Amino acid sequence: MFARNPSASLSAWGRSCLLSALLGLPLFASCAASEDTEPFVPAAEGASQPQGSGAVVTEDDACARLLKAANAAYDRLGCTPPSFPKCPGFLRPGGGSGCYEYFDDSVTACVSAYENAPSCRELSPCLATAQLNEQLATCERVDVGAAGAGGAPTGAGGAADGGNGALPDAGAAGMSGSPSAAGQSAGGAGG
């Protein structure tokens, strides 16, 4: 059934060359220099956030304690400190509101983390865990604007403040940039 094709088989010389090449390939790859030129430096640990529960403290108290501990840690270790924002910006996320209280045990754990940092390399930010409290005097809630108008503090622009409380429609006739206004002025100029 199967016939041997003498031109398709390798000669003894071809088989020995193929065998030599396959056996020598791992030796060739191991001759390449693969030594790293830079020393290994492990990554520094990132920010931490201890869990919180129980008693809460005000944002002002938590921020003051954490900022004092961070500055003291940088001084103690002789590290170049970053330019920390003043309170409450040190504690409050960018664009955040004053609607949060912070768990005392989480703040205490962060203060301990700053106090126990053994080197500048291991000195990393610590974020205190917060709890939402919309009843705080510093809490300013922002409503989501309608039709892409953006947010405004509650009550701003309402009927009680002298505003009509309604937002103009973008496509209303006579409004700048609306197709109907552009068509009317073009039609009026041509007629």
Instruction: Name the percent of the chain lying above pLDDT 90.
Output: 35
pTM of this prediction? 0.53
pLDDT over threshold 80, residue 79: yes
Distance separating alpha carbons of residues 189 and 16, to the nearest angstrom: 93
Please state the domain extents for the chain.
Answer: 56-132
Tell me what pLDDT residue 38 has.
76
pLDDT band of 104, cuts 50, 70, 90 = very high
